[in-house]
Amino acid sequence: MTVTNRDDSPNAVVDRVISVLSAFSGSDALTSSRIAHRTGLPRSSVHRLLQRLVELGIVKRDGFDYRVGLKLFELGSVALAQHDVHQVAMPYMTRLSRATGMSVHLATLSDTDVVYIDEVWTDWAGPLRRGIAQPAHQTACGKILMACLPPDARPSIDFSDVTPKTRYSINSQRDLDRELRGVREAGLATTREEYFLGSMSIAVQIGPFDHASTALSLWGPIERMRQAEIVSHLRQASRAIWSAAQQGPGWERRKSVIRPLPHSSTEHFSRSTNYRPARRENSSSDL
């Protein structure tokens, strides 16, 4: 995010703060000059903002280097605690990974990116950092969530500013529109070597298609992806998570405006597939 407005109105100040924080998109520490380069802000403005953010615990300083502070972690944890699907998903994700041998990801859409909010990983693929963002059109989770939106509500992607991950990556709006039409028809999204050579991912939405804001995906080696079996497990896990989320905090306030999926009870899911929610205290042993 680049901000060039230098006035001192509240909106401009907030824009500059968000721009500075958005510069910390990776795990590396940054200098103030690097942040200024990424944001397009004057170094003097960046220095003043960083000084205050350090005082508030939002950013941590180590010599000339700056990192994200624990205060942001606290705030991010609050956001996850308020996410109804995230609260209930992990036991089902753990069971899904055991049944398929694949890595499982839970993600949501943020503008043109997809943000991973939880995962169960396997030896084949190392863990993703919680909160990491990837270009939505290069991931199965991103594709399914964009397809859930009406065409005029989908985020606009500047393909000239996105580097394809592989030669199979989507690199034009025309190709993406065609892909999303297919996703809507199929009710699921796939990537095949579009993000990482040798890998494949399959994703479905959690909840009614036109209201979904969270996606569930399986990721693993192409040669181990038995698609029919994988999709069956994935859909059933998605329905079970949605059913459990309906019983969670806040459902009473929303049930009048969101239609529950038919035949999506957790009891039916457990009977028909031998899936049972893995106990949360044991799930860490699978990660």
The CATH number that applies at residue 90 is 3.30.450.40
Residue 118 · residue 106 · CB < 8 Å: yes
Same domain, 126 and 185: yes
> Confidence class of residue 82 from pLDDT cuts 50, 70 and 90?
low
Say how far residue 205 (Cα) sits from the centre of its chain: 12
The better pLDDT of the pair 178, 75 is held by 178
Cα torsion 176, 181, 186, 192 to 10°: value is: -10
Name the domain count of the chain: 2
CATH number at residue 19: 1.10.10.10
Range of the domain at 204: 83-286
Read off the DSSP letter of residue 193.
Answer: S
Q: Is 1 helix (H, G, I), strand (E, B) or coil?
A: coil
Q: Which structure tokens are listed for 211?
A: 């209201």
Give the Cα separation of 125 and 198 in Å (integer).
11
Query: How big is the chain, counted in residues?
Result: 287
pTM of the model: 0.69
Q: How confident is the model at residue 227 (pLDDT cuts 50, 70, 90)?
A: confident
In single-letter form, the type of residue at position 276 comes to: R
| Cβ-based burial of 160 (10 A; exposed 0-12, middle 13-18, buried ≥19) | exposed
Q: What is the mean pLDDT of residues 116-139?
A: 81
pLDDT tens, 15-26? 999 889 888 876
Report d(CA 136, CA 175) in Å as an integer.
14
Residues 49 and 98 in one domain: no
